[in-house]
Amino acid sequence: MNLILPDVRTDVAALARDVVKIYGRGETAVRALDGATLSIPAGRFTAVMGPSGSGKSTLMHAMAGLDTVDEGQVLIGDTDLGRLSERQRTLLRRDHVGFVFQSFNLVPTLTAAENIVLPLTLAGRRADQAWIDEIVAMLGLGDRLRHRPAELSGGQQQRVAVARALAARPRIVFADEPTGSLDSRTGEALLGFLRHAAHELGQTIVMVTHDAKAAAYADRVAHFADGRVVGVTGDEEK
């Protein structure tokens, strides 16, 4: 079953408004997000930077529908995630959101090819083969498709993860430090691909990174501190 989002032509692919997320209770409570507001323009490559523990991952998870928030609003397109049930959020993730984790992105028992189309197969949808072929070719994975994750290098595994994130043509792709476990050359190649995907294929991409060099690949950079966005650079260029 597909969760149909009203296909409104909008410039904003996703929006977090005054989001608060509190972990724990009482004395030990942590305000991981403390009034964070961030809008993600469609078709662009946004980087999120900030010190460790400032709440970047938490915001990613909230915007991707992996987690709920305590206050504020999160929208994907025009859909308010706060109004969705757990099951609806799952279906939304499956059909409209791609996610790349820092590591451990793949199901070990499935081949690379199967991992790439996993969200589609889960939905019982047929893959758009031309599109898959295009991504695979761009990521240089052509000769690795039949291998299982354990037989792939770390960089190859991350590329497979990126391919999977894009396979269902989601509205938005979130990547939480996708180059964190890669060497700089491999990392740069992946960043180059993400920028390419945004610019040439119109894919909306949000990426968390610690690395200023990595952030330089993005169109705009949101700066994060103490659970809120303290500034966005790069918007003025447009």
Partner 1 sequence: MWRLIIRNTVARRGRLALTLLAVLLGVAFVTGSLVLTDTSQRLLDDQFRTATAGVDLTVRDAAAFDSAMGVEVERDPLPAEVVDRVRAVPGVAAATPVVRGQGLIGVGGKTIVPAGPSLLLSWEPAPVGPFTLRAGRAPVAEGEVVIDAATARRHRIGLGAEVTVRAERAERLRVVGLAGFGSGEGLPETTVALVALPAAQRLLALGGDFSEVAVVAEDGTDVRRLRSAVSAALGSGYEVSSSRDVAAVGAAAAKTQISSLQVMLLALAAAALLVGAFLIANTFSIVVTQRTRELAVLRAAGATGAQVMRSVLGEALLVGLAASAAGTGLGVACAAGLRDLAGVFGMTLPDGGLVVTPRTFAVAFVVGVGVTVVSAFGPARRAAAVAPVEAMRRSSADHLAGRAGWGRTVAGTVLTALGAAGLSIVLAGPGSVVVLGEAAVSTVVGLALLGPAVTPGLVRLLGRPLGVAGVPGRLARESAARSPRRTSATALALAFGLALVSFTAVLGTSIKESTARSYAETITADYVVESARNEMLGGLPAHVYHHVSELPQVAVASRLRYGHWKDGQSVEALTAVDPVTLPRVTSLHMVAGRLDAVAGGGVVLAANVAKERNLKVGDTLAMTFSRTGVQRLPVVGLLRDRDAQALSTGYVISLDTYERNYREHVDASVFVKVADGVSGADAKRAVERALADAPTAQVRDQAAAVAGRNAMIDQVLGLVTALLMLTVLIALMGITNTLALSIIERTGELGLLRAVGMTGAQMRWMIRGEAVLVAALAIVAGVGLGIAFAAGTVAALGRATEATLTLPVGPLLLVVAVAALAGLLAGLLPARRAAGLDVLTAIATS
Can residue 204 be called a binding residue for ligand ATP (CB under 6 A)? no
Query: With CB cut-offs between 5 and 8 Å by kind, which of Mg ion, ligand ATP, partner 1, none does residue 54 bind?
Result: ligand ATP
112, 150 in Cβ contact below 8 A? no
User: Stretches 24-32, 53-61, 86-94, 182-190: which one binds Mg ion (CB under 5 A)?
Assistant: 53-61
By 3-state DSSP, what share of the chain in percent is helix, strand and coil, each rounded to 5? 40, 25, 35
Residues found in the chain: 238
Can residue 115 be called a binding residue for Mg ion (CB under 5 A)? no
Torsion, Cα 213 236 41 32, to 10 degrees, reads: 60
Query: With CB cut-offs between 5 and 8 Å by kind, which of ligand ATP, Mg ion, partner 1, none does residue 106 bind?
Result: partner 1
From 58, 79, 111, 179, residue interacting with ligand ATP (rule: CB under 6 A): 58
As a whole number of angstroms, the distance between CA 181 and CA 105 comes to 12
User: Stretches 46-54, 82-90, 144-152, 212-220: which one binds ligand ATP (CB under 6 A)?
Assistant: 46-54
Closest-CA residue to 228 (of 55, 62, 99, 45): 55
Can residue 56 be called a binding residue for ligand ATP (CB under 6 A)? yes
Q: How far is the CB of 89 from Mg ion (least distance, A)?
A: 21
Q: How far is the CB of 80 from partner 1 (least distance, A)?
A: 19
Can residue 57 be called a binding residue for Mg ion (CB under 5 A)? yes
Q: Which residues contact 18 (CB under 8 A, 6 or more apart)?
A: 35, 36, 37, 71, 72, 73
| 195 or 210: CB nearest ligand ATP | 210
User: Stretches 45-53, 80-88, 159-167, 230-238: which one binds ligand ATP (CB under 6 A)?
Assistant: 45-53
| 28 or 85: CB nearest ligand ATP | 28
What are the residues binding partner 1 (CB under 8 A)?
Answer: 61, 66-67, 86-87, 90-91, 93-95, 99, 101, 103-110, 118-119, 121-124, 150, 164
User: Stretches 8-16, 22-30, 128-136, 147-155: which one binds ligand ATP (CB under 6 A)?
Assistant: 22-30
Angle at 25 between CA 20 and CA 29, to 5 degrees: 60
**73, amino acid identity:** Q
Torsion, Cα 211 42 59 16, to 10 degrees, reads: 140
Angle at 186 between CA 223 and CA 98, to 5 degrees: 55
Residue 68, helix vs strand vs coil: coil
- Residues lying near ligand ATP in the complex (CB under 6 A) are found at 23-24, 30, 32, 50, 52-58
Residue numbers at the binding site for Mg ion (CB under 5 A): 57
